[in-house]
Amino acid sequence: MGNLCTAQTISVGALLGMSNYSGDLMPSYWEMSEIRPVLGINTTLGINRYLSVRATLIYAQVAGSDENATNPFTRLRNLHFRSPITEGTVQIVVDFLGNHRRLIPYLYGGIGVFRFSPHAQYNGEWVALQPLGTEGQGLDMQHPRLYRLWATALPLGGGLRYAINEYWQVGLEAGYRLTTTDYLDDVSTDYYDNNLLRELRGDMTADLADRSDEYIADTPPFTATAERGNPRSKDGYLWVGFTAQYQISQAQWGEKYKCFSF
């Protein structure tokens, strides 16, 4: 095939895979004990052989726990969380060798938004953490309000597709999301005065803010100046999964010919 394909194609696809998160409660970028599912759907507009625009909708679960840490001080902190994530993004996909091959390596990047809601287990039930203000949010000028449950995501990733024919492609894809929040796990700054939290927000908030006494009985609460998290580093999440894509239409101008060579 000597000519470039002039067709603009529209495809729909799906993703099924495994997710992890990176943040204060994760000792590494991939923790096998914290793997959770990720599902996704997408629509792709192919511009030419090398470029396409993709809109995605993804639902995932992420989780983390200080139980996985090897550092004794981190284990004493004894915090954990899980959170659902609903994400919508728009991405530019680059098939850098062209999409007219059987094997199609690609990279992508873009922008989007996602919603999250960290929960922790308390007396056998999973409790939403953001309304509690476990780091004193909303109680003074240093912590003027609760953090938002919506944030921006910058999706980066790549994969490898295999063209079964000119309509169906299957593959493997991996992605990482840079985010603008440090509260995906409800952990960011310093401990708040636990006695004041108990007085103003109740026992559950105080107990969930400092869980060190569950790890070692009768441990005194962390002081209000103690570091609870690292506010200098934002949280993120990542996943790997299987993909399937089906071309549903093609708008053709000029001479008609297939976009794939087999």
Secondary structure (DSSP) of 94-139? E-TT-SSSSEEEEEEEEEEEEEE--EEEETTEEEESGGG-TT-TTS
3-state secondary structure of 146: coil
Q: According to the 3-state scheme, what is the secondary structure of 23-52? A: CCCCCCCCCHHHCEEEEEEEEEEECCCCEE
Residues in the chain: 262
Taking the alpha carbons at both ends of the chain, their separation in whole angstroms is 11
CB 146 within 8 A of CB 133: yes
In the chain, where are the structural domains located? 8-124+147-185+233-251
- In angstroms, the CA 133 to CA 186 distance is 9
CB 82 within 8 A of CB 130: no
What is the torsional sign of CA 143, 149, 155, 161?
A: positive
Q: Which helix (H) or strand (E) holds 74?
A: helix 72-77
- Of 22-31, 127-136, 191-200, 207-216, the one with minimum mean pLDDT is 22-31
pLDDT digits (tens, 9 = 90+) for 119-147: 999 999 999 999 999 999 999 877 789 99
- In angstroms, the CA 140 to CA 178 distance is 29
- In angstroms, the CA 259 to CA 17 distance is 29
Ramachandran assignment for 126, one of left (phi > 0), alpha (psi -120 to 50 degrees), beta (any other): beta
Mean pLDDT of 78-96: 97
Dihedral, CA of residue 229, residue 29, residue 22 and residue 211, to nearest 10: -50
In DSSP terms, 14 is beta-bridged to 41, 244
Checking if the pLDDT of 172 tops 90, the result is: yes
**Mean pLDDT for all residues in the chain:** 91
Burial of 45 (0-12, 13-18, 19+ CB in 10 A): middle
Checking if the pLDDT of 167 tops 60, the result is: yes
Ramachandran assignment for 124, one of left (phi > 0), alpha (psi -120 to 50 degrees), beta (any other): left
Residue found by looking up tokens 């659902």 in the block: 84
Can you say how many angstroms the Cα of residue 254 is from the centroid of all Cα atoms in its chain? 42
pLDDT score for 7: 58
Between β-strands 8-22 and 236-251, what pairing exists: parallel, antiparallel or unpaired?
antiparallel
Determine how many CB atoms are found less than 10 A away from the CB of residue 49.
Answer: 20
- Taking CA 156 as the corner, what is the angle to CA 228 and CA 26, rounded to the nearest 5 degrees? 25
Checking if the pLDDT of 221 tops 60, the result is: yes
pLDDT band at 166 (very low <50, low <70, confident <90, very high): confident
pLDDT band at 256 (very low <50, low <70, confident <90, very high): very low
CATH of 8-124+147-185+233-251, one of 1.10.10.60, 2.40.160.20, 3.90.1420.10, 1.10.274.10: 2.40.160.20
